[in-house]
Amino acid sequence: MIIVAISPKYKADVEGDGVDEHGLHTKYIHNQIQNEYIQQGCLNFRLVPVMFPNAAKTHVPSWLQSTRIYRWPQDTQDLLLRLLREERYIIPHRSADLTLTFRPV
């Protein structure tokens, strides 16, 4: 999984003029994950966008806005469940011996 940390600085780095003054290659990595997202038919299997307190929905890249965006720290439990690939609610098992009763009306 790839956690995308959404912040105003991230948006400025990926939509900026192309100069990587930090040496972090943010724009290159952003382009690579965007290409993977497109190659997967715009289905999100690995990307986990996390919005930090100083970020807003406008800081999320437009191509990533159609997926589930987690807010830190409000969505901590949901985020952990996603990273662990676990469900919040476990569906009860259905018993094998179902009984159907028909009554004429």
Measuring CA to CA, which residue among 15, 52, 46, 20 is closest to residue 33? 46
Q: Which domain holds residue 34?
A: 2-84
Q: Is residue 103 part of a domain?
A: no
Burial state string for 69-83 with b = 16 or more CB within 10 A and e = fewer than 16: bbbeeebeeebeebe
Write out pLDDT tens, residues 19-76: 666 667 888 888 999 998 888 888 887 889 999 999 999 999 888 888 899 999 999 9
The total domain count for the chain is 1
Q: Is residue 51 part of a domain?
A: yes
Which SS3 state, helix, strand or coil, does residue 17 take?
coil
